[in-house]
């Protein structure tokens, strides 16, 4: 790697710990402020204080949680690109896979601040009858599945630790982005206008929305941890780490293990 532009991150575990603490603090501020404001009925006599709950609300846009989520996704994109640079310098395979993942996370970061998928749904670009709010998932789900299948060989070549951390991060993130999105839509999108007014009903919806955002943020942090940890191991072990992971898969044949060799 070019040492002149090399930016050293904290240790992967320390970085993940700090990010997870920030995630927890943001959700406490979001739920706490809204519980006081809506749960105690303060939204009616003091409507001007809504800005405080909106600024920390994990379900709102253009606020602190949105900025943090976008920053974590962009951090993931940067670390993924750094791994691609390290792999290319070592003459190893799958450089384009790392770079493509980096671009995907950069796009997710942009979508987080622009909410492009929701704008497309509401504007009619992805409108599918009464399910227009969730219609973006009809298009996204096949793309996510195809992308995951195209990366099976790439995942198989990674060290087991990195592989399963990335798989877990993807499952947690997609589970929040799609799974809990459906739950939140079921709870909070039942009115004619599609909007919930203040009070206890809004808190019910916010709990589901908070679970969605918590899973998305946790999945993004887990991805950052997995890739940062892999990058640090690459820098420490050198090309041997990826070369060892690219060994010929173990073949099982009737109670006996075949030997594992490294293909050159």
Angle among Cα 115, 126, 207 to the nearest 5 degrees reads: 50
pTM given for the model: 0.80
3 state DSSP class of 253: strand
* Per-residue pLDDT band at 166 (split at 50, 70, 90): very high
Q: Model confidence over 191-237: pLDDT tens digits? A: 434 455 567 778 888 888 899 999 999 999 999 999 999 999 998 87
Phi, psi of 255 (to 5 degrees): 85, 0
**Encoding tokens for residue 249?**
């898969």
Does the pLDDT at position 255 exceed 50? Answer: no
Considering only the C-alpha atoms of the chain, give the largest distance between any 2 of them, rounded to a whole number of Å: 74
Helices (H) and strands (E) in the chain, counts: 11, 2
The residue that leads in pLDDT, 213 or 5, is 213
Domain locations in the chain as residue ranges: 8-234
Angle among Cα 227, 12, 262 to the nearest 5 degrees reads: 50
Q: Which of 51, 47, 52, 48 is nearest to 32 (CA)?
A: 52
| pLDDT of the residue at 20 | 98
Q: Model confidence over 93-143: pLDDT tens digits? A: 999 999 999 999 999 999 998 876 555 444 444 444 444 556 667 778 899
Q: Which of 230, 260, 232 is nearest to 246 (CA)?
A: 260
In the DSSP assignment, the letter for residue 250 is P
CA 95 to chain centre: 21
Q: Model confidence over 57-70: pLDDT tens digits? A: 998 888 999 999 99
């Amino acid at each position: 790697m070019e040492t002149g532009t090399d930016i050293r991150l904290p240790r992967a575990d320390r970085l993940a710990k700090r990010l997870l603490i920030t995630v927890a603090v943001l959700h406490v501020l979001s739920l706490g402020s809204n519980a006081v404001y809506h749960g105690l009925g303060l939204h009616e006599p003091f409507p001007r204080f809504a800005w405080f709950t909106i600024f920390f609300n994990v379900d709102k846009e253009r606020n602190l949680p949105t900025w943090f989520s976008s920053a974590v996704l962009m951090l993931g994109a940067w670390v993924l690109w750094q791994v691609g640079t390290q792999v290319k310098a070592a003459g190893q395979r799958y450089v384009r896979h790392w770079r493509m993942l980096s671009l995907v996370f950069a796009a997710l970061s942009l979508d987080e601040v622009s909410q492009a998928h929701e704008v497309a749904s509401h504007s009619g670009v992805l409108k599918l009858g009464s399910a227009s709010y969730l219609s973006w998932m009809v298009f996204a789900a096949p793309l996510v599945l195809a992308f995951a299948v195209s990366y099976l060989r790439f995942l198989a070549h990674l060290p087991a630790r990195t592989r399963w951390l990335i798989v877990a991060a993807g499952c947690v993130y997609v589970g929040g982005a799609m799974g809990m999105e459906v739950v939140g839509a079921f709870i909070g999108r039942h009115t004619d206008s599609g909007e919930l007014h203040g009070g206890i009903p809004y808190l019910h919806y916010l709990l589901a929305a908070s679970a969605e955002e918590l899973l998305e943020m946790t999945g993004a942090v887990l991805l950052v941890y997995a890739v940062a940890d892999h990058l640090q191991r690459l820098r420490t072990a050198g090309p041997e780490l990826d070369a060892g992971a690219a060994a010929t898969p173990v073949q099982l044949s009737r109670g006996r293990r075949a030997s594992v060799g490294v293909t050159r």
